[in-house]
């Protein structure tokens, strides 16, 4: 090779290197372009399959999947309707032409657990907790009630909706049960304008119906009227109520749309509107949690990445964007009233309450799965607000039971504050005080399990 041949040789080498680099970039897994790399095993198979709740699956879970795809470098994301109503396919493509997709079906909470059982889904979306019978049937997949399997991604509320012209402003769960059972047949019986009551309800597969059935109908010994008009679609139910002057229905909070929501009381609690602060603390009588479940032994990294995203600040921003209540901790003023015990009145005048309640596993003083994740959220808030040293007061509440010994509810409520205190002390929080106020200030009726579970709570206050 002569000196004159060197330029052409160098150009050929450079061209070859460029070709090899371009080929490597094209063939390199998409994970190389993302900070949290996830593999694609088979581009012809979905990286995620989600089945279950229409409340979650209509908009929220598709939006979370889209956010995950974009996080992984798939910036060209498309949402396509499936061949069946309430089914979707989310597709993503990255800068080098690689593509992935997820399949979502939203036919009701119970269908998600069926999908897990049959192996047709990776994740079950549910707008109610998994039932004991479902957890038992899925034991071969592991403990679906464990913290590794159960993820509370948002708080929602069942809104009781009527036509905007209905003069009724508030009601209680006992009256609602009679309305939806068909025992109250004319609006004039409950303070509305004369006219027949027409009942609209979600279908049997719906977690929304399961929640309403447990919190309202079964709790009052009633069953849904056979004359009720049933819906799979939340949007359609809400739109039909807003067009029918005689209608009443129940719906998830983001689906109120053009209808009017009533304030609701349960037992001795005050009537409450489904406001964000009352939903965040789960004090609103018809508040509920939204869940994603998967087998704790599932090895699909996309499943675990979606759970991490859903619980992160960016994931909770998506939750808020779609009308649900995110689990961001905020402080709020609480107005003083005469029903409050003296110590609680003092707190309301001098401190602020955080927008979270710690609750406990049924029949236990053990913190439930949401509470364990809320420990970290509360610590992060206290750290950022510089409130770690003796600025925090915990207030525990309980539920009275028949033939209770004097002081038992107060003692148990204080023990619950100690359970929360113990976990936060591990994080470095120093407390000003902790109080047990027993059965004071109930947020739900105490004559059913759901109500008692709501009343067993610990609030966090900061000075």
My answer on whether 83 and 116 are in the same domain is yes
In a domain, 411, yes or no: yes
Claim: this prediction has a pTM higher than 0.85: no
My answer on whether 94 and 118 are in the same domain is yes
Distance between CA atoms of 150 and 113, rounded to whole angstroms?
Answer: 12
My answer on whether 336 and 453 are in the same domain is yes
In a domain, 287, yes or no: no
Distance between CA atoms of 1 and 12, rounded to whole angstroms?
Answer: 14
In a domain, 306, yes or no: yes
My answer on whether 23 and 78 are in the same domain is no
Altogether, the residues listed in the chain come to a count of: 463
- Residue 256 and residue 238 in contact, taking contact as beta carbons nearer than 8 Å: yes
* pLDDT, tens only, 357-398: 998 866 567 899 999 999 999 999 999 999 999 999 999 998
Distance between CA atoms of 120 and 111, rounded to whole angstroms?
Answer: 10
Residue 404 pLDDT = 59
My answer on whether 186 and 87 are in the same domain is no
Distance between CA atoms of 434 and 413, rounded to whole angstroms?
Answer: 10
Distance between CA atoms of 295 and 122, rounded to whole angstroms?
Answer: 8
In a domain, 285, yes or no: no
In a domain, 141, yes or no: yes
My answer on whether 127 and 173 are in the same domain is no
In a domain, 322, yes or no: no
Joined tokens for residue 85? 């109503």
My answer on whether 160 and 208 are in the same domain is yes
Residue 369 pLDDT = 92
My answer on whether 214 and 240 are in the same domain is yes
My answer on whether 305 and 338 are in the same domain is no
Distance between CA atoms of 312 and 429, rounded to whole angstroms?
Answer: 22
CATH of the domain at 379: 3.30.1330.60
Q: Which residue has the tokens 């610590």?
A: 379
* pLDDT, tens only, 16-47: 444 444 444 334 443 333 444 798 878 899 99
Q: Point out the residues of the chain with pLDDT beneath 70.
A: 1-36, 361-364, 401-406, 448-449
Question: What range does the domain containing 13 cover?
Answer: 3-30
My answer on whether 172 and 255 are in the same domain is yes
Residues 6+ away with beta carbon under 8 Å from 27: none
Residue 366 pLDDT = 83
Question: In angstroms, what CA-CA distances link 326 with 84, 146, 249, 251, 277?
Answer: 30, 22, 25, 18, 11
In a domain, 41, yes or no: no
CATH of the domain at 310: 3.40.190.10
In a domain, 174, yes or no: yes
My answer on whether 342 and 413 are in the same domain is yes
How many domains would you assign to the chain? Answer: 4
Residue 269 pLDDT = 83
Residue 218 pLDDT = 93
Residues 6+ away with beta carbon under 8 Å from 270: none
My answer on whether 383 and 309 are in the same domain is no
């Amino acid at each position: 090779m002569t000196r004159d041949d060197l330029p052409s040789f160098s150009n050929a080498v450079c061209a070859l290197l460029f070709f090899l680099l371009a080929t490597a970039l094209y063939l390199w897994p998409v994970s190389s372009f993302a900070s949290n790399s996830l593999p694609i095993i088979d581009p012809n198979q979905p990286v995620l399959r989600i089945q279950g709740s229409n409340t979650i699956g209509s908009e929220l879970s598709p939006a979370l999947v889209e956010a995950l795809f974009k996080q992984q470098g798939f910036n060209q994301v498309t949402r396509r309707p499936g061949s069946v109503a309430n089914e979707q396919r989310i597709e993503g493509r990255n800068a080098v032409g690689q593509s992935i997709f997820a399949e979502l079906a939203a036919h009701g909470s119970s269908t998600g657990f069926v999908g897990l059982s049959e192996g047709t889904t990776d994740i079950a979306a549910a707008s109610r907790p998994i039932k004991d019978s479902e957890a038992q049937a899925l034991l071969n997949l592991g403990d679906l009630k464990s913290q590794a399997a159960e993820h509370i991604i948002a708080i929602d509320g069942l809104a009781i909706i009527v036509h905007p012209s209905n003069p009724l402003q508030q009601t209680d769960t006992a009256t609602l049960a009679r309305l939806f059972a068909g025992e109250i047949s004319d609006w004039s019986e409950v303070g509305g304008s004369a006219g027949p009551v027409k009942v609209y309800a979600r279908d049997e597969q719906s977690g929304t119906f399961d929640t309403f059935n447990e919190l309202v109908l079964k709790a009052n010994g009633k069953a849904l009227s056979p004359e009720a008009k049933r819906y799979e679609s939340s949007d359609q139910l809400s739109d039909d109520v807003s067009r029918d002057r005689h209608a009443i229905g129940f719906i998830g909070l983001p689906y109120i749309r053009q209808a009017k929501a009533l304030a609701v009381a349960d037992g001795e609690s005050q009537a409450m509107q489904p406001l964000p602060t009352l939903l965040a603390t789960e004090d609103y009588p018809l508040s509920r949690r939204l869940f994603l479940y998967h087998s704790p032994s599932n090895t699909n990294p996309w499943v675990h990445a979606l759970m991490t995203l859903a619980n992160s600040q960016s994931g909770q921003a998506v939750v808020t964007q779609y009308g649900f209540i995110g689990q961001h901790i905020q402080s709020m003023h609480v107005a003083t009233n005469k029903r409050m015990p003296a110590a609680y009145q003092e707190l309301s005048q001098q401190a602020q309450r955080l927008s979270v309640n710690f609750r406990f596993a049924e029949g236990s003083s053990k913190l439930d799965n949401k509470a364990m994740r809320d420990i970290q959220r509360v610590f992060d808030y206290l750290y950022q607000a510089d409130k770690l040293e003796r600025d925090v007061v915990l207030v525990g509440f309980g539920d009275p039971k028949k033939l209770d010994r004097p002081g038992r509810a107060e003692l148990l409520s204080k023990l619950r504050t100690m359970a929360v205190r113990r976990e936060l002390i591990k994080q470095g929080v120093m407390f000003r005080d902790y109080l047990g106020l027993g059965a004071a200030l109930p947020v739900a009726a105490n004559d059913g399990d759901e109500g008692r579970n709501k009343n067993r709570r610990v609030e966090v206050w900061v000075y």
